[in-house]
Amino acid sequence: MKILVVGTGGVGGYFGARLAQAGNDVTFIARGNHLEAIRENGLLVKSINGDVCIKNAHAVDAISDIKHPDLVLTAVKAWQIKEIREEIAQVIHDESIVLPLQNGVLAAKELAEVIPAKNVMGGLCRIFSMIEAPGVINHVGYKPEIVFGEPAGSSSVRTQKLSRLFEQANISYKSSNDIEADVWKKFIFICTSALLAVTKTTYGELRELKETRSMMIGLLNEIYAVSQKAGVNIKAEFIDKTIAVIDSVAYDSTSSLTRDVWEGKPSEIEYQNGTVVKLAEEYGVEVPVNRFVYHVILPMELKTRSLKGNA
């Protein structure tokens, strides 16, 4: 299968390398010294599941350099979707699958505003990985998994095609019959990242102090209430299950947004708690904890973006 990985970071670098390792024709979109290093030395993925180096990885900086991919994995940060969607629309063919792996609930919608909706599937991923150095990805935690599904539910020829692809590449996957609910479930969980960021805690520290634990539970319940107004099919027990997951993750775990905020990098706050606040306003739901963490991070976010010329 001809695969285009747009964004060769923690996510795109890992999954793209596993697909290339399995013999697929993978092109990686990267830029700057990361692209140069990949071209010079190949793409090295260090992983708790076993390292792999894709020598002679096909890496370019322009999406327009590749024509007619069968599968496009979008693996840029959520706010970068709007920067890449026009170019993707220009290179795909009638049956290409565009599969977003972003955190948040807006990626598929933002892609389908420009790319024909029939080409866009719903998706998400789980992994703990990052760019360690130019040309080097480090997968340090979580069993990597891709979840995908038809926006309308049910299995299809292309969900079967993706299942075979990931199976052959030894990538854990779930073909979902309700990808909207799965994307929202991850969204509810991941929105605790901003609470970790503002309280300067790991999941272990956040959950053990009763004051921060109660904020965490409040934050989760608020997003659940928004999901119900949005008509997403999630049962109320999901919140208790999420709390149980948080109680079971390694004490020192954090998440990508938390680390981005701490490191003064642009973060996905607009696509996480910022989105919760906007949707809550639309639906008339009170979300005081989400509003608080969003507003605390916002000044740092705006400063970081203006310093980096990204505002």
Ligand X SMILES: NC(=O)C1=CN([C@@H]2O[C@H](COP(=O)(O)OP(=O)(O)OC[C@H]3O[C@@H](n4cnc5c(N)ncnc54)[C@H](OP(=O)(O)O)[C@@H]3O)[C@@H](O)[C@H]2O)C=CC1
* CB-based contacts of 104, cutoff 8 Å, min separation 6: 78, 187, 190, 268, 271, 272, 275
CA 270/CA 278 separation, integer angstroms: 9
**In three state form, how does the secondary structure of 181-195 look?**
HHHHHHHHHHCCHHH
Residue 266 binds to ligand X (criterion: CB under 6 A):
no
Give the binding range for ligand X (CB under 6 A) out of 31-39, 177-185, 239-247, 281-289. Answer: 31-39
CA 193/CA 186 separation, integer angstroms: 12
Per-residue x/- mask for ligand X, residues 147 to 186, rule CB under 6 A? ----------------------------------------
- Residue 177 backbone zone (phi > 0: left; psi -120 to 50: alpha; other: beta): alpha
Whichever of 123 and 224 has its CB closer to ligand X, that residue is 123
Whichever of 103 and 138 has its CB closer to ligand KPL, that residue is 103
Q: Which residue is nearest to ligand X (CB)?
A: 9
Residue 128 binds to ligand KPL (criterion: CB under 6 A):
yes
Residue 274 binds to ligand X (criterion: CB under 6 A):
no
* Residues that contact ligand X, how many (by CB under 6 A): 31
Per-residue x/- mask for ligand KPL, residues 246 to 285, rule CB under 6 A? ---------xx-----------------------------
Residue 101 binds to ligand X (criterion: CB under 6 A):
yes
Instruction: Pick from 52, 112, 114, 131 the residue near ligand X by CB under 6 A.
Output: 131
Whichever of 142 and 262 has its CB closer to ligand KPL, that residue is 142
Instruction: Give the count of beta carbons closer than 10 Å to the beta carbon of residue 299.
Output: 9
Please report how close the Cβ of residue 36 comes to ligand X at its closest, in angstroms.
Answer: 12
Q: Determine the distance from the C-alpha atom of residue 128 to the mean position of all C-alpha atoms in its chain, rounded to a whole number.
A: 11
Give the binding range for ligand X (CB under 6 A) out of 88-96, 122-130, 224-232, 298-306. Answer: 122-130
Please report how close the Cβ of residue 155 comes to ligand X at its closest, in angstroms.
Answer: 24
Per-residue x/- mask for ligand KPL, residues 85 to 104, rule CB under 6 A? ------------------x-
Per-residue x/- mask for ligand KPL, residues 179 to 208, rule CB under 6 A? -----------x------------------
Instruction: Pick from 39, 82, 126, 305 the residue near ligand KPL by CB under 6 A.
Output: 126
Please report how close the Cβ of residue 40 comes to ligand X at its closest, in angstroms.
Answer: 16
Per-residue x/- mask for ligand KPL, residues 64 to 83, rule CB under 6 A? --------------------
Binding site for ligand KPL (CB under 6 A): 103, 126-128, 142, 190, 255-256
Binding site for ligand X (CB under 6 A): 7-12, 29-32, 34, 61, 75-78, 80, 83-84, 101-103, 125-131, 256, 268
